[in-house]
Structure 1
Amino acid sequence: MSTTATPDRFTTLPDEHALASTVAALEEHGFSVQVVDDLDAARAAVLARLPDGSSVMTNTSVTLAETGIADAINNGGGRWESARTKMSALDSATQAQNRKAIAGQPDYALGSVHAVTADGTVVIASASGSQPASYAWGAAHVVFVVGAQKLVPALEAAHRRIYQHSLPLEDARAQAAYGRHSQVGKILEIHQDLPGRTHLVLIRHQIGF
């Protein structure tokens, strides 16, 4: 059995001053932000934002899985329309574009990010680009659920975090789950968004890659 090293600088929670400063920077760039203490509070905060009957895409995310958010949406008894369930019912070989439309244009796209910079930029890496498509443009609303250990000083540190920390962990997960390696195919940086479109739930807890 092998283990993946996780440098402390990528897993340490910020102090309250750094957290508050980052929240202020995010808000200046059009994001709304909610800070919560634990995973249960994060799940409650996210679900409270989703109108009944709305289409919701749960993008692949360790954070969504560990908070129980993905399960609540996809097995929620019909309270929300699960875009993932709807997409998965289509044939990937013959209905690829239909699958992309469903996943890329929901009412709400849920996921996480790999880094948040001190000056208010969120950074997301993806192997295929399927997640950033909805985050950048396609979804009407976006909700990111983020462990506070992902706060970094600047973009350079965000990229180091992706390659030195997140990728090795995701590569190990992908091999276990899919039998193949992961990669950084595309990186999305969101520096500014329309007020009211993108919301971050920051958790004072180490969670996710």
Structure 2
Amino acid sequence: MKPRKKHYRVNAKQLIDKLEQRGMKGYYCANKEEALKQVMSLLSAGTSVSWGGSMTLEALDIKEKVHQGNYTVYDRAKASSEEEKEKIYHQALNSDYFLTSTNAITKDGKLVNIDGRGNRVAALIYGPKNVIVVAGMNKLTIDEEDARKRVRNEAAPINTQRLEMETPCAITGSCANCTGDSSICSQTVITRLSKPAGRIKVVLVGEQLGY
């Protein structure tokens, strides 16, 4: 086993214990192929499924897999109008399963997220019966402070560059605490516990996924 893979596995084992203490069910998959199988095994046929924007989910090709299955899918990308898209945003909050990633996860098991529109963190907090979080081990941080730095100075700048937005961080590569209309950092949410216990499930992946 390569050193990085071993490092990921060792850290994941400890992290899963911390997640369990916070009411979150944890899983570890060595690669994205295993992660896809794990996520699909958690979905019950005949249920409704939706997701938040996530490059990690894109890497798993999970959306296509869900569309092929026996699920009612709330996918805003399929909307033919802004009105329909808005309706799907609300339907997602009442789904049986909501798939997402996390911007960062601390060694003691907290999920740290900064969101623009707020739909992703809204679903994480309340609404969907089950939330499945998929995260590459590259998102593991020492503590909350380290997690915030990661999101503000790595995840957010890369995402604004990907979206070709003209935010200060897209230009300089680091957070400037901007408050303009183009800012993607509207809501900061720290998830300490899953209420009810077991609602949030975290699938850790031994690869670098997402930003």
Fold-level match, TM-score > 0.5? Answer: yes
| Residue of structure 2 equivalent to 1:6 | none
Aligned alpha-carbon RMSD (Å)? 2.2
Alignment of 1:44-193 (within 5 A): 44-73=37-66, 75-76=67-68, 78-84=69-75, 88-89=78-79, 91-93=81-83, 96=86, 98-175=87-164, 183-193=184-194
| Residue of structure 1 equivalent to 2:201 | 199
- State, as a whole percentage, how many aligned pairs show the same letter: 24
Change in CA separation of 1:100 and 1:160 when aligned onto 2, cut-off 3 Å: same
**Aligned equivalents of 2:157 and 2:115: distance in 1?**
13
**Aligned equivalents of 1:53 and 1:32: distance in 2?**
22
> What is the Cα deviation at residue 16 of structure 1?
4.0
In the alignment of these two chains, the number of paired residues is 191
The alignment's TM-score, normalised by the length of structure 1, stands at: 0.83
Residue identity opposite 2:93 in structure 1: G
User: Is the contact between residue 114 and residue 150 of structure 1 (CA under 8 Å) also seen in structure 2?
Assistant: yes
User: Is the contact between residue 147 and residue 205 of structure 1 (CA under 8 Å) also seen in structure 2?
Assistant: yes
> What is the Cα deviation at residue 20 of structure 1?
2.1
**Aligned equivalents of 2:55 and 2:146: distance in 1?**
21
Q: SS at the partner of 2:198?
A: coil
What stretches of structure 2 of length at least 5 have no aligned partner? 166-180
Change in CA separation of 1:47 and 1:16 when aligned onto 2, cut-off 3 Å: closer
**Aligned equivalents of 1:17 and 1:42: distance in 2?**
17
Residue identity opposite 1:160 in structure 2: K
Change in CA separation of 1:15 and 1:40 when aligned onto 2, cut-off 3 Å: closer
The alignment's TM-score, normalised by the length of structure 2, stands at: 0.83
